Amino acid sequence: MERKESKNFKQLPARNQIVKELTSQVKEDLKNYFQDRDYGVIAVTREDALRAFVVKTTNLCEIARLRHKLSPMATAVLGRALTGAILLTSLLKHGTDQRVLLRIEGDGPIGLVVAEANAKGEVRGFVQNPDVPLFVKEENGRKKFDIAKAVGKGTLTVVKDLGFGTPYESSVPIVSGEIAQDIAYYLLKSEQIPSAVAIGVLVGENGKVEAAGGFLAQPLPDASEDAVSKLEENVKSLPPVSSLIKEGKRPEDIAELIFKGFTTELLALKELSFRCRCSKEVAERGLVAMPVEELHRLKEEGGVSIKCNFCGEEYFFTPEEIEKVIKEKESGDN
Ligand SMILES: [Zn+2]
């Protein structure tokens, strides 16, 4: 099928609040435009004040798995955190350089979990223990990954960098460890935004990510009580979001399920990708921070590789490059 760079979507900047009804033609255009790529839709209801951000993140979770050589358990946890960070970009201004960082510090065996997303749809992240073993629990007769066991108890912190001054940081205790519920708890406690959050990452037998995605649905301040209870009902009756994506449902289809009984309209679209902004220049700051004696040692050892935590990329520094850093440090110290 021919890929159409549909003109329709260019008319959808969130700022202008231009909405587009989700007709079958629009759905067809979306399918042709995004195909298998990851993306999210911001949808609203015509009849009432409900909003949802629904995302498919299968590819970016798989890229994270490959980059960090994650075990199946670590894939499920980081995949959820990456998807969660993307959902939290709802707190940012669409399309800007604003960023949100999600930090989960639990006492479980996976250790620290960090994911950072920006308003442009780029996300990156890591877990402290990429080899964490598999924990399985049974729920309604079905075996499921026990995310809460890997994460443990502790705190969930959200850092919003809105591009001016000190980033805004707020923490809540981990209430479930399943990540989606914890994000909903954070939104309620720290942002006073009641919301329904669902995230799912389906990891196959071979360890590969088969389907991943999530949504954040919320009543806007002037929503009617009736609409709020309808939304709650719809969300409760939904199958797991990873199952929906596995069976071929797209973000816009899931938005329609969330808004069953309403007319779903599109407010904005966002392409999503795993992307790190690291570079050799950024890695060099790690060298500059080291004591001069340590740099001499690394130089004599024939160079050093500095690894970016966020994406696993390694930057090699030759003895000559280390010497340059030593010289700069020594001149800077005087
Ligand atoms: Zn990086």
Q: pLDDT per position in the chain (334 positions), as tens?
A: 334 444 444 334 444 567 888 999 999 999 999 989 999 999 999 999 999 999 999 999 999 999 999 999 999 999 999 999 999 999 998 878 899 999 999 999 999 999 999 999 999 999 999 999 999 999 888 889 999 999 999 999 999 999 888 999 999 999 999 999 999 999 999 999 999 999 999 999 999 999 999 999 999 989 999 999 999 999 999 999 999 999 999 999 999 999 999 999 999 999 999 999 999 999 999 899 999 999 999 999 999 999 999 999 999 999 999 999 999 988 875 4
Residue 2 lies in a domain: no
Quote the CA–CA distance of 216 and 223 in Å, as a whole number: 16
Residue 238 lies in a domain: yes
- Residue 55 Rama label (left phi>0; alpha psi -120 to 50; beta): beta
In one-letter notation, the amino acid at residue 35 is Q
Residues 78, 186 within the same domain: yes
Compute, in angstroms, the gap from residue 268 CA to the centroid of ligand 1. 28
Residues 37, 51 within the same domain: yes
Render the burial of 62-82: b for 16+ CB within 10 Å, e for the rest: bbbbebbebbbbbbbbbbbbb
Give me the pLDDT at residue 333, please: 59
- Got the DSSP string for 2-35? PPP--SGGGG--GGGT--EE--HHHHHHHHHHHT
Give me the pLDDT at residue 212, please: 98
Residues 203, 302 within the same domain: no
* Boundaries of domain holding 259: 8-274
Give me the pLDDT at residue 242, please: 96
Residues 211, 292 within the same domain: no
Residues 255, 296 within the same domain: no
Compute, in angstroms, the gap from residue 305 CA to the centroid of ligand 1. 13
Residues 241, 323 within the same domain: no
Residues 216, 300 within the same domain: no
CATH code: domain of residue 78: 3.55.30.10
Residues 89, 236 within the same domain: yes
Give me the pLDDT at residue 13, please: 40
Compute, in angstroms, the gap from residue 265 CA to the centroid of ligand 1. 36
Residue 3 lies in a domain: no
Residue that is last in its domain, among 274, 296, 314: 274
Compute, in angstroms, the gap from residue 261 CA to the centroid of ligand 1. 44
Compute, in angstroms, the gap from residue 246 CA to the centroid of ligand 1. 29
Residues 268, 286 within the same domain: no
Quote the CA–CA distance of 202 and 287 in Å, as a whole number: 39
Compute, in angstroms, the gap from residue 197 CA to the centroid of ligand 1. 28
Give me the pLDDT at residue 315, please: 95
Residue 1 lies in a domain: no
Residues 51, 162 within the same domain: yes
Residue 185 lies in a domain: yes
CA distances from 99 to 36, 86, 89, 93 (A): 25, 10, 7, 9
Compute, in angstroms, the gap from residue 217 CA to the centroid of ligand 1. 31
Compute, in angstroms, the gap from residue 275 CA to the centroid of ligand 1. 8
Compute, in angstroms, the gap from residue 316 CA to the centroid of ligand 1. 13
55: nearest Cα among 270, 334, 223, 326? 270
- Pull the structure tokens for residue 281: 């220049």
Give me the pLDDT at residue 12, please: 40
Residue that is last in its domain, among 232, 254, 274: 274
E strand segments, 63-131? 99-106, 112-118, 122-127
Give me the pLDDT at residue 15, please: 41
Q: How many domains, in total, are found in the chain?
A: 2
- Pull the structure tokens for residue 334: 């005087």
Residues 256, 300 within the same domain: no
Residues 300, 184 within the same domain: no
CA 208 from centre of chain: 18
